[in-house]
Amino acid sequence: MLRKSPAMDSPQHTAFYRFTPLADPAAAAATLRELAQGLLGAIVVAGEGVSGALAGSKETVAAFEAALQQAEVLGGALRGMAFKHSACAVAPFGRLKVSVKPEIVALGLPDEHGAVDEHDASHLAPAAWRELLARGDAVVLDNRNHFEYRLGHFRGAVDPQVHNFRDFTAYVEARAPAWREAGRPVAMYCTGGIRCDKTAPWLRSLGLQVFQLEGGILNFFDRMPDAGRDWLGECFVFDRRIALDTALRETATGIEQVYDPALPDEAWRLKRARQLDVSSGDDPG
């Protein structure tokens, strides 16, 4: 069982991302590393933008978020960025890690298929998302890993059986013709919105009408006090809290209940999670 960190009593978790072209990701990473001092977690920087999940005191988190909004930070590219907050009973991360990678989220998508637009009309606020689901004509598509779906999902959602990052594209490509012929829109969701934002242009390139849950599952839980009407189970999070309920509270779910050791892609995740659970090193994202 994880113990509270004495240096991070009742931390606040913040998650964020922004798709924006960065000419010098390494320089951007250095700036973000300096601004994030006093926080623990992970930030990924790439030519396509920034993604992060951090935790610390509410005051430190607020100061970091305010700093990112300043015009001089990355040329003002992060102004107006949305942050998703949740409370923590335990320290969700063991250290601060800022990495430069080829992509802020790797999904194995085909070649260029259109620019990401985080604010286009395909984004539905939680109340509008509920209305779309109630219509019953949409393909409700879970854009997450199979083990995440298994732990919890929207009622009526389909599981693309994602065991590696290319499974999602194979699943959609095989079914897109039938969805088009039936005139069925795709209502897509993920944890915080980043996977859907990156995937939506590709789905549209297949001739599909796409809607996505604005801010993802975490935003739905935050905005809808009765989220349990639409959601079954828990929501997996990539940190030491493991899972949240629809009130954004940590649950008692442990790693042994998340990963199936009989599946190769989950066996290595379980092994890594066990190592991180007893280590003060890497975060488990």
Q: Which residues are catalytic?
A: 190
Instruction: Select from 16, 230, 19, 17 the least CA-distant residue to 128.
Output: 230
* Run of H or E residues at 189: strand 186-189
Comparing CA positions, the residue from 165, 159, 39 lying closest to residue 96 is 39
Nearest to 258 by CA among 283, 230, 234: 234
DSSP string, 175-240: HHHHHHHHT--EEEE-SSSHHHHHHHHHHHHTT--EEEETTHHHHHHHH-TTGGGTEEE-EE-SST
The H or E element that residue 84 is part of is: strand 83-87
Cα gap 204→89, rounded to integer Å = 40
Amino acid at 202: W
